[in-house]
Amino acid sequence: MKLLVLREGIHGTNAADYAERLRERLPDHEVVLARTPEAEEREIADARVVTGASIDADLLGHETRLRLFAGEYAGHGHLPLDAFEERGVGLTNAAGVHAPNIAEYVVGALLSHVRGFLDAARRQERREWRPMPVGELAGSTVTIVGLGNIGGAVAEKLRAFDVETVGIRASPEKGGPADTVRGPDDLHDALSRSDAVVLACPLTDATRGLLGSAEFTTMPTDAVLVNVARGPVVDTDALVTALRRNVIGGATLDVTDPEPLPEDHPLWNFGNVQLTPHNAGATPRYYDRLADLVAGNVRLAAEEGWDAAFENLVLPVGRE
């Protein structure tokens, strides 16, 4: 079976590394890297699987044997879904590839707040040796909004710290690794009992502005927010007001609204706010995990045939 790797990798530069990882995992299959647009047009003709960050719908207009596009992102809204469906091309995404490292980020953020590392860093700059108040993560309650791959990984890692986790998801009947799983209508009750709130949900009409003035007022005054979802899930003006009035205890934000955060934005100036440049998902193991996922799907198709494989692939078109 031929697998074509498109020239644009997820960061635009690592397609060759990705192709090599796939060759290691699929020694019985042909893995080809297209380094030019002309090569993409030529090689797609007999490729059964194409993988890349995106694909131009025009490329699908060529006569091909293509059965699967393996996307390099968790999201798929940027892809030509209509063209996939029209031509019977299955689609898989990279859901879960970022989960281990983003979960580590969340645990690190929570520890940073509870152990006072932000305050300690400022005292170190002043060469000030003076005791400071700290807490413990053990015994705390953390509400995780969104129990997909990332939220689930957060819940699992927090179990080792003896943390009580409450998961909020649109379909609570699906359950999850959190100690308690509840629906959106129970959000405020969960917030009122939380020492920390972690946002790991997708940005949708239902989650845009999910945390605003009422939600921050509901949270305990020493509770912290960690956002690894999307900036607009939080009402930024309401967050700034809550921080200024000490309505909540602090925040770690890997995503903001607006993003990038302007240099003169007030969020830069809070001592209890930790900001990172949307890199919670960064990891040197990204391509290894992605190659494991794609290679597993290719082997499944080779062993069971495409029709059977489409019942088990990550995200076949029409089966979200």
Copy the structure tokens of residue 238: 């309401």
DSSP SS3 for 97: coil
Copy the structure tokens of residue 175: 């359950």
Does residue 259 carry a catalytic annotation?
A: yes
In terms of Cα–Cα distance, which of 231, 233, 254 is closest to 101?
254
Q: What are the backbone dihedrals phi and psi of residue 77, each rounded to the nearest 5 degrees, phi first?
A: -65, -20
Which pLDDT score is estimated for 301? 84
Catalytic member of 156, 259, 265, 299:
259
Report how far residue 153's alpha carbon sits from residue 145's, in angstroms, rounded to the nearest whole number: 12
Same fold, 2-97+284-309 and 99-275: yes
Neighbours of 169 (CB within 10 A): 22
* 2-97+284-309 CATH fold: Rossmann fold (3.40.50)
305 Cβ partners below 8 Å, 6+ apart?
Answer: none
Residue entry with tokens 């007022």: 217
In terms of Cα–Cα distance, which of 226, 213, 248 is closest to 145?
226
Q: How many CA atoms lie within 13 A of 206 on its CB side?
A: 11
Q: Helices in 193-255 by DSSP H: which ranges?
A: 213-218, 236-244
Cβ–Cβ < 8 Å for 186, 199: no
CA angle, 139 as apex, 137 and 145 as ends, to 5°?
A: 75
Does residue 11 carry a catalytic annotation?
A: no
Which pLDDT score is estimated for 56? 87
Which pLDDT score is estimated for 317? 43
Indicate the domain borders of the chain: 2-97+284-309, 99-275
Using CA atoms of 233, 234, 237, 238 in order, give the dihedral in degrees to the nearest 10.
130
Please count the residues of the chain. 320
Which pLDDT score is estimated for 188? 98
Instruction: Give the pTM.
Output: 0.87
> In CATH, what is the architecture of 99-275?
3-Layer(aba) Sandwich (3.40)
Cβ–Cβ < 8 Å for 74, 98: yes
130: exposed, middle or buried (Cβ count in 10 Å: 0-12, 13-18, 19+): exposed
Does residue 230 carry a catalytic annotation?
A: yes
Report how far residue 225's alpha carbon sits from residue 198's, in angstroms, rounded to the nearest whole number: 6
Catalytic member of 23, 67, 230, 289:
230
Average pLDDT, consecutive stretches of 10 residues, N- to C-terminus, the chain (320 residues): 81 75 96 91 92 88 84 83 88 88 98 96 94 94 96 97 98 96 98 98 95 98 98 98 98 98 97 96 89 90 76 48
Catalytic member of 42, 123, 159, 278:
278
Cβ–Cβ < 8 Å for 6, 43: no
Which pLDDT score is estimated for 280? 95
**CA–CA distance from 210 to each of 17, 142, 144 (Å)?**
39, 17, 13
